Amino acid sequence: QSALTQPASVSGSPGQSITISCTGTSSDVGGYNYVSWYQRHPGKAPKVMIYEVSNRPSGVSDRFSGSKSGNTASLTISGLQAEDEADYYCSSYTGSSTWVFGGGTKLTVL
């Protein structure tokens, strides 16, 4: 149950696009299409932004998109806005009714 690997930080200017990667193994990210992404503002509960690799829950902006290639999943945020500044975490189902999270990525909007 090793944590998924995310960059510690990414940054971008308003209006730009950024991508956050999430690297696992064939036992988690690569083996299942149950990758989710969560946004966490300080002091707030996490909010699911993407589920099943690329699906957006109702109410989540279409500026957020997800994809996967092999053992690496990615979250792309286009048209960056100040309100997007937050911590982002990926998560994957790993089979045998267990889950794993990434270490988190701090997004700074310059």
Partner 1 sequence: QVQLVESGGGVVQPGRSLRLSCAASGFSFSTYGMHWVRQAPGKGLEWVAFIWYDGGNKYFADSVKGRFTISRDNSKNTLFLQMNSLRAEDTAVYYCARGSYYEGPFDYWGQGTLVTVSS
Catalog residues that contact partner 1 under the rule CB under 8 A: 1, 3, 6, 32, 34, 36, 38, 45-48, 51-52, 57, 89, 91, 93, 96-104
Smallest CA-to-CA distance from 76 within 87, 90, 63 is with: 63
Query: Whole-number minimum distance, CB 24 to partner 1, in Å?
Result: 13
Judged by CB, which is closer to partner 1: 1, or 13?
A: 1
Least distance in angstroms from the C-beta of 77 to partner 1: 18
Ramachandran bin of 13, using left for φ above 0, alpha for ψ from -120 to 50, beta for the remaining angles = beta
- Between 52 and 83, name the residue whose CB sits nearer to partner 1: 52
Q: Are 2 and 100 in contact (CB under 8 A)?
A: yes
Of the pair 47, 63, the CB lying nearest partner 1 is at 47
Residue 23: closest CA among 88, 81, 70, 63: 70
Helix ranges (DSSP H) in 1-110? none
Type of residue at 25: T
Minimum distance, C-beta of residue 21 to partner 1, in the bound complex (Å): 15
- Tell the smallest beta-carbon distance from residue 14 to partner 1 (Å): 26
